[in-house]
């Protein structure tokens, strides 16, 4: 089955901890994205990567970090510097930057 997977589905973090959200795709897409969704708001772009070993900040990159060591994988780390990390995180991929984006099922992060 081709698609995008995210894990875990639910994640709980204590204050001061770093956590890493996984995103994997087997669609052979070059571009991958991380979005944050808060209730009643549209998705906001955290980071995106157009190609392996390259990534750019989106609108709300502060307190987050990413890596793109493999084409299939684009993990997102939520660091302790992110002051309000409780949200729904969505990963997406596309053939390239100008094509239709396909989304994973999301990870809900809650800070305890």
Which residue ranges make up the site for another protein (CB under 8 A)? 4, 6, 33, 35, 40-45, 48, 50, 58-59, 88, 90, 92, 97-98, 100-106, 108
Alpha-carbon 31 to chain mean position: 12
Q: How many CB atoms lie within 10 A of CB 68?
A: 19
Compute the least distance from the CB of residue 107 to another protein, in Å: 10
Give the residues across from 23 on adjacent strands.
6
The nearer residue to another protein, 2 or 40, going by C-beta atoms, is 40
The nearer residue to another protein, 13 or 108, going by C-beta atoms, is 108
Asked whether 49 and 55 are in contact (CB, 8 A), the reply is yes
């Amino acid at each position: 089955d081709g698609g995008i997977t995210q894990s875990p589905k639910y994640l709980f973090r204590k204050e001061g901890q770093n956590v890493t959200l996984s995103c994997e795709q087997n669609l052979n897409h070059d571009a991958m994205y991380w979005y944050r969704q808060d209730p009643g708001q549209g998705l906001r772009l955290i980071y995106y990567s157009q190609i392996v070993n390259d990534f750019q900040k989106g609108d709300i990159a502060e307190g987050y970090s990413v890596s793109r060591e493999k084409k299939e994988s684009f993990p997102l780390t939520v660091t302790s510097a992110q002051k309000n990390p409780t949200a729904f995180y969505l990963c997406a991929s596309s053939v390239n930057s100008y094509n239709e984006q396909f989304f994973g099922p999301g990870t809900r992060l809650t800070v305890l």
